[in-house]
Amino acid sequence: MNKTGYLFFILLFLVTSTAFGQKNAPTGLLCDLLPHPELSEITNKTPDFGWIVNAGVKEDYQTAYQIEAATSATLLQEGQADLWNTGKVPSSQSINIRYTGKSLQPHQRYWWRVCTWGKTGRQSAWSTAQMFNTSDFDLPRTWPGESKWVNLTGDNGKIAFTFENREPVNFHDVVPAKTVVQKNGNIFYDFKKDAFAYLAINITWDADKVKTDSLVLSIGEKGIGDSIDQKPGGGILYGTYKIKLKKGLNDYILEIPRFVPQFPHSQVMPLQMPEVIPFRYCEIKAIPGLKVNSIFQKALYVEFNPNASSFSCSDDKLNNIYELCKYSTIANTFNGDYANSERERMMYEADCYIQQMSHYAIDRDFATARYSTENLIYHASWPTEWINHSVFMAWADYMYTGNTELIENYYNDLKAKTLTALETPEGLISSRTGLQTKSFLASIHYDGDMLHDIDDWPDADQGIYPNGETDNYERKDYNTVVNAFYYRALVLMGRMALATNHRDDVAFFEAKAEKVKKKFNEDFFDNVNKVYIDGIGSRHFSLQANMFPLAFGLVPDVYKENVVNYVKSKWMACSVYAANYLMEALYNAGQGDYALELMTNDSDRGWLNMIRVGATMTTEAWDIKYDPHDISWSHAWSASPAHIIPRKIMGIEPAAPGFGEINIKPQPGELKWAKMKLPSIRGDILVSLNQDPGNFFDLDITIPANTTAKVYLPKISDNYTLIVDGKVIGNAITEGKWVVANCASGDHSFKIKKN
C-alpha cells in the first residue's frame, strides 16, 4: 500500500470509528431517576446515576463503564474530572450506580458523563454531559422525602420556580383549535382539550366606544354546540369572571380565585404561580371597541415527552381510548404529583397507584411516582384496603426502576402498611374488631379516627349516591375484598424483604401469605355455588368479591373456570377505579378476548362513553348518572387502559427489577394488528403484531441493549410451525397454551402458523 493509500485508510478508520462511537454513545442519562435534573434540585448527597446502553452490534450488552463528574462541563470536555473518575469498571450495571466521588456541596451545579464498553470490547463515545443541581442537604423537613418548592437561577440570571427531587411543572401555551363569533358578537373558543390552566389574553380596547371597564368571560369543561354548558352538573366546571380593562393594547391574565382546601392533605398552588382550574372552552362577551389579538390556555403539567410512547391498532375505538387515557395521565400532574381532581386536590393510594402505572407506560419518568409514593406513606387516606396500595406502589417503583432506595428508606412503614396489626386469631384482618388503636394508626401515618372498608366506589350505602358501584356488596366484619388486598400486600412485602436482604422477614411474609390464602378459601369460597361470597356470614356474591381474588392469584386452579365465568357474567358492575383490577383479573386468567370487548364497549359504562359525552380527560365515574353529585371530568384514576394496553394487550412487563429481563406475552383479542412503543429505564421497547386468530400470529420486537426477553406466542394449533428470525424451530418450548422463546437484545421476528 502506498503512502496516500495508507493515509486514506487511516482517515477512513478514524471517521468510521468516530461514527460508530457517536452512534452507540450512552443516552437517556438519569440522575436520581430524573431525566432532566438540570430543571430541579436534588437533596441526595450521593445520587444514583443511570443511562441507556446503545447497541454497537447485534445483541449487544454492556461489559464495562466509566463515569466522570466535575464542577464544570468544560473540565469534562478537557478530560479533567475534578470530582469523580471511576476508571474502567467491569460491570453490566447501567442503572442505579451510587456516586462515591468527592463530597457534593449544597446549592451547586455539577456535571457528569459516561461511556461504556460492549461485547466487542470497543469503547463507546462519551455521552453528552448532564448537569444537576444540589439543594440544601440538611434543611429540616416535616416528613422524610418532603420536596419543597425552590428558586433555581439559570445561566441568564432568570429564576425558575421548581421542585426538589422531582420533575418540575411547566405552563404550556395552547392556542384555540376553533374560534366562533356568535350572532350576539360573543367570541367562543375551543382549546380542543380540557386542562388545568389559566387564560392569557392580549387585547386592544378603544375605551371611548363604550362606558365599561370590565371584560366578562366564561370558562368551562362541557360544550353545547358553539357555546359552553352553563349547568353541566356534578363536579363539571363552569364559571363566569370579570377582568378589569385598560385603554389601548395590553396583556391580561384571568386571575382565578385561589383553591381553598376542604379535605385533609389537600394541596394548594404556591402564591408565586397563577391559580389553575380545568377548562376547555372560553366565551368572551362582546364589547364595542374590543379586539382580542391572541388568547392562550396556559396548561400546567409536569415535564413530559409526548413522543416517548405510542400505540396504534386496527380498532379505532381502542386507539381513541388509549389517547384519552394517555393525555389524562399527564394532564392530572398539575400539582407535580398525583393529587388530581379539582374538588379535593388530595392524593389517595388507589388513585395514585393507577396513575403511577399509567405514567410509567407513557413516559420515562420515575421521580413523580416516587415522590407521590413517599408522600402517601406519611399521609395515609381512610379506606382500609387503599393503605395496602402503598405496598403496591413501592413494589412497582422497584420493578420499573430496579432501585431499592425507597423500600430501604421506608421499610418499617411499608411493613405496617400490610395491615398485619389488624389480623385476628381467625387468621384474617378486620377493621371492625377493635384493633384500630392509636399506636396502629400512628404506625401507618393515618391521622383520622379509624379506617373504613371501601370495597369499591361510590357506595350506595353512604346515602349520597343513589346507584353506587359496588354490585350491592354486603359488607361484613370479615370482608372478602379487604382480605384479598391483605394477601397481595403480604406477597409483595415478602418479595421486597428479599430484595433488601431482610431474610427473617422473607420467611415470615411468605408463611403468612400462604396461611391467609388457605384461610381465605376456607372462609370466603362457597363450595355449593363455586364462587366467593362478600364476607363471612354473607350469602351475596358480588363482582368485587370474585374479581379481586382472581386478580391477586387467590383462586385455586380447580375453581378458576367457575370464578372466571361468574366474573364475566357480571359484565361491568364496578367503578372506574375497580375496572383497573377487573382488567388485571381477566388478562391474568387468559381472557384477553373478553377483556378487549369490555374495554371497548359502547355503553354508558365504558371509556367510550367518556369521549361521547365530551370529556377529554378520563372522568371520575362512568357517567354523571352514576355520580350525580361530585363527578369530575379530570380524574386519572380511571385512566388504567394507558397501562393495561401495553402491559396486557401488548404483553410488555418487567420480568426482573428495572427491566433487567422482559416478558412479552401479548393478548390482542380480535385485533388484526397493533404497534406499541413503550419507554423503559433501559430504553424503548417496540412490539408489533399481525394476526389471523387460529391461522397465524406474527410478532416483531425490538429489545434495548443490556437486557433479554422471554417471548410468549399463542399456540394457535396442535400442529404449527414456529419461525424465529427466519429460522424454523423444530423443538419449540410450550407452557400450556403458549409457545415460548428466549432472545437477547435487538430486533427479532417471530412467526407461528397453523400447518
Relative orientation angle of helices 349-362 and 316-331, to the nearest 10 degrees: 110
pLDDT at residue number 529: 97
Lowest pLDDT segment from 34-43, 144-153, 482-491, 708-717 = 144-153
- Position 4 pLDDT exceeds 80: no
pLDDT at residue number 17: 40
pLDDT tens, residue by residue, 623-679: 999 988 889 999 999 999 999 999 999 999 999 999 999 999 999 999 999 999 999
Nearest to residue 349, comparing CAs of 478, 357, 550?
Answer: 357
Q: Which three cell numbers stand for residue 728?
A: 424454523
- Looking at residue 583, its amino acid is M
Given a contact cutoff of 8 angstroms between Cβ atoms, the answer to whether 587 and 595 are in contact is: yes
Q: Spell out the alpha helix ranges (H) of 601-753.
A: 607-612, 641-644
How distant, in Å, are the alpha carbons of 458, 565, 592, 658, 668 from that of 653? Answer: 31, 26, 16, 10, 15
- Position 23 pLDDT exceeds 90: no
- Domains of the chain are 3-163 (2.60.40.10), 166-379+617-648 (2.60.120.260), 382-389+427-435+450-599 (1.50.10.10), 662-754 (2.60.420.10)
Band of pLDDT at residue 200, cut at 50, 70 and 90: very high
- Strand 661-664 versus strand 708-714 pairing type: parallel
- Strand 187-205 versus strand 290-302 pairing type: antiparallel
- Position 13 pLDDT exceeds 80: no
Given a contact cutoff of 8 angstroms between Cβ atoms, the answer to whether 716 and 752 are in contact is: yes
Residue 351 CB neighbour total at 10 angstroms: 27
SS3 248: strand
Band of pLDDT at residue 19, cut at 50, 70 and 90: very low
pLDDT at residue number 463: 57
pLDDT at residue number 464: 57
- Looking at residue 591, its amino acid is Q
- Position 2 pLDDT exceeds 70: no
Nearest to residue 28, comparing CAs of 310, 364, 265, 276?
Answer: 364
Band of pLDDT at residue 12, cut at 50, 70 and 90: very low
Residues in the chain: 755
Average pLDDT estimate for 591-611: 97
SS3 27: strand
Beta bridge partners of 50: 30
Distance CA 655, CA 659 (A): 7
Band of pLDDT at residue 264, cut at 50, 70 and 90: confident
- Looking at residue 702, its amino acid is T
pLDDT at residue number 425: 94
Radius of gyration (Cα) for the chain, nearest Å?
A: 28
Query: For residue 480, what is the enclosing H or E element?
Result: helix 480-499
Cα 678 from chain centroid?
A: 12
Q: State the pTM of this model.
A: 0.95
- Looking at residue 160, its amino acid is A
Band of pLDDT at residue 467, cut at 50, 70 and 90: low
